[in-house]
Amino acid sequence: MKLTVLDRCPLCHGKRIVRFKKGTVDPQALGSADFKITDSHYGSRWTFDSCRDCGFVFANPVPDGEAIAGFYSALADEEYSQEDEGRGRNFTLILERLGRLVPPSSSLLDVGAASGIFLNLARGAGYRGTGIEPSAALAADARRLYGLELFRGTAEQFVAEEKFGVVTLLDVLEHVTDPNALLATLGSFLLPGGVLVIVTPDVSSLAARVMGGRWWHYRVAHINFFNRRSLERLLAAHDFEIVQVRRFAWHFSLHYLLTRLLPFLKGKPLQKSLKKLHLKLQLFDSLEVYARKKEK
């Protein structure tokens, strides 16, 4: 895999960058399985630098974007849809908040749609939904489970036939090598006054600082990290105005949470019972942001 050393911040282009965390993985040994959504190798990370000017944290050297896209194209993640009930609870709350900002009949584009759990709920709530997903296996799951036909590829490869009232980017921003390019693309998809919804880890959160290198968001798939300051800067640079910021809470089955910590429990007799028990996990370490595209 090609790696490129950066001498300035890719977000604000400032030169006051310092080492943030030393890497723990060999980039040349990675495969698509390392990029699973349900990966539990917490602490596995790239070498990260941080920008003293804007607070952005980014892999440096940065991996090649085409190589990363190739990993996602070949990715299969059978466990993801097994948590559809818990993930559905997360997504239902987002749809409720979104409904206060835009009419539920609006057109909606879900970027990084995975197996279609959110998009299926959005359509059920009345949104005219379209999804983008690079993984062939996850796109096939969306078709099998919900009858959804997702665009197979990246946002940059997607050709929009219409402008959307809503674009959702749920746990995706931290996976891309060039957030500026992605935001420019997504901004072109939105109607003036349209809403962009972002969920992404907060690298300045108390949980991130207390857990250090073992923070559960440190995993191979995550290539950059924002805090509120750097995310506000990114959005402002692309003509977005933040209208609401919340702390995202997770809902998972007890089985899912335990097998993240104790993988040997997978397939054990108690798994059916444990999957019926759901917990709300609020670590206050993910940002949930609603931003409106400025009208010109």
Residue 86 sits in a domain whose CATH number is: 3.40.50.150
Please report the pLDDT score of residue 257 as a whole number: 53
Please report the pLDDT score of residue 41 as a whole number: 82
Q: The whole model's pTM is what?
A: 0.91
pLDDT digits (tens, 9 = 90+) for 129-142: 999 999 999 999 99
| Enclosing H/E stretch for 214 | none
Which residues constitute the domain of residue 134? 3-293
pLDDT digits (tens, 9 = 90+) for 65-114: 999 999 999 999 988 887 777 788 889 999 999 999 999 999 999 999 99
| Enclosing H/E stretch for 287 | strand 286-293
Please report the pLDDT score of residue 29 as a whole number: 94
Per the CB < 8 A criterion, the answer to whether 277 and 254 are in contact is yes
Please report the pLDDT score of residue 260 as a whole number: 60
What is the number of structural domains in the chain?
1
Please report the pLDDT score of residue 10 as a whole number: 96
Cis peptide bond N-terminal to 201, omega within 30: no
Rounded percentage of the chain residues whose pLDDT exceeds 90: 78
CA 166 – CA 44 distance, rounded (Å): 33
CA 130 – CA 167 distance, rounded (Å): 10
Please report the pLDDT score of residue 130 as a whole number: 98
Question: Is the sign of the CA dihedral 232, 236, 240, 243 positive or negative?
Answer: positive
Please report the pLDDT score of residue 265 as a whole number: 54
β 164-170/278-281 pair status: unpaired
- Which residue positions in the chain have pLDDT lower than 50? none
